[in-house]
Homo-oligomer: A and B are copies of this chain.
Amino acid sequence: MVKERVTVIDIARAAGVSKSTVSLVLQASPLVNETTRAKVNVVIRELGYVYNRGAANLRQSNAKSKIIGVVVNDLTNSFFAELAVGIDMVVQSAGYVQFLANTGESLDRQREVIASMREHGISGLILSPARGTEASDLKPLVAAGIPVVNVVRQVVGAKVSSLISDNQAGAHAAVTHLAGLGHRRIAFLGGFPDTAVFSERLQGYRDALIDAGLEASENLVIGSAPSRAGGVAAVERALSLAVQPTAALCFNDAVAFGACDGLRARRLEPGVDFAVVGFDDVIEAKTAVPALTTVSVDPQGMGRRTAQLLLKQINAGKADAEAIVGSVRLVIRQSCGSAADKRERLALI
């Protein structure tokens, strides 16, 4: 029942040529005669030959394994799921295959998984680093000449390329919009304060408040897990403040959805009684009710660009670290109140 492996030598024998010729056919080399090529291809199909990349890769130490490692910190977050899908698209059509692993923010897992991927000879790595990842964790990779692209989060001091979104500008735009709608007390909800992404978005939030002539009060910044449940918790804390905010920029869309849930639990209608703005623009943001106003990051597109960047580096051979900041744009939907609401609110003053 256990079939013997069909090798290039079996093909050669059956087709009456040498193994070298078969190898050339496999590589679609122009050196081989059309007739021979056809004959060999027929035999390949007949015998059900399966190319052994492991063996090939062993011989050509310089050449590439056609495997790309992808390590993300939270695949259950649909932002990352979509990112992975975007990566997969370009990786697949470039003839690569992706190792995808989830670390769940565990540094140990991340170490293990990267080590394992190295043993398998990945030709590049896309990493959305777990919290607390240090430059030294990536050192061996770059020393071995394996191109690495960080995505979403950066690792300070690591000499690798990165693709992150313009968190500061996005947050700034969102808060400016809220201020323009007449909101005076705008909260910042959710996210882990010890991440770079958090600081960047917070910075944009603060700058925008100042630019709008509003006071940046410390207790309007409420961290939480960057999840739906975290959003519920954060909005509850916000609503229990002495002076309640009337609007919030949320760390990401998951938090924003949670905030909407928390508002409803308090009989407040998001978009009417309280303005909510998210960050990321995950796929559900458009169809949710109310449709979520959010800073669009286009995770899938981001995944595609990341993969392209990595492939470029793999093909170039040498990797000059390149830091790309993807632009973002505010998508105004229903969750922050419409212009009509704004007029109403102004009329009340």
- Check B97–A145 contact: CB distance below 8 A: no
> How distant is the Cα of A187 from the Cα of B65 in the complex, in angstroms?
51
Q: Indicate if A280 sits at the interface (CB-CB under 8 A).
A: no
Beyond A100-B100, A145-B3, whether A257 also contacts B284 by CB under 8 A is yes
Q: Indicate if A24 sits at the interface (CB-CB under 8 A).
A: no
Binds B, one of A46-54, A127-135, A164-172, A210-218: A46-54
Render A103-137 as a binary contact track against B, CB cut-off 8 A, 1 for contact. 01000010011001111110000000000000000
> How distant is the Cα of A337 from the Cα of B65 in the complex, in angstroms?
55
Among A221-245, those with CB < 8 Å from B are 228-229, 232
What's the least CB distance linking A249 to chain B, in Å? 20
Q: Add 4 more A-B contacts to A52-B119, A88-B102, A258-B287 (CB < 8 A).
A: A50-B119, A66-B116, A75-B84, A85-B104
> How distant is the Cα of A177 from the Cα of B213 in the complex, in angstroms?
56
Q: Count of A residues near B, CB < 8 Å?
A: 62
Beyond A61-B5, A120-B67, whether A287 also contacts B229 by CB under 8 A is yes
Beyond A1-B318, A145-B2, whether A50 also contacts B288 by CB under 8 A is no
What's the least CB distance linking A309 to chain B, in Å? 20
Which residues of A come within 8 Å of B, CB atoms? 1-3, 5, 48, 50-55, 57-58, 61, 65-67, 75-76, 78, 81-82, 84-85, 88, 92, 95, 97-102, 104, 109, 112-113, 116-121, 140, 143-145, 228-229, 232, 257-258, 260-261, 264-265, 283-284, 287-289, 318
- Check A119–B260 contact: CB distance below 8 A: no
> How distant is the Cα of A140 from the Cα of B6 in the complex, in angstroms?
13
> How distant is the Cα of A288 from the Cα of B3 in the complex, in angstroms?
51
- Check A117–B102 contact: CB distance below 8 A: no
What's the least CB distance linking A102 to chain B, in Å? 5
- Check B144–A116 contact: CB distance below 8 A: no
List 11 A-B residue pairs with CB atoms under 8 Å apart, sorted by A's residue number.
A1-B318, A51-B119, A53-B119, A54-B120, A54-B121, A78-B81, A92-B113, A95-B116, A100-B100, A228-B283, A265-B289
Inter-chain contacts of A102 with B (CB < 8 A): 84-85, 88
* The one of B3, B116, B283 that contacts A97, using a Cβ cutoff of 8 Å: B116
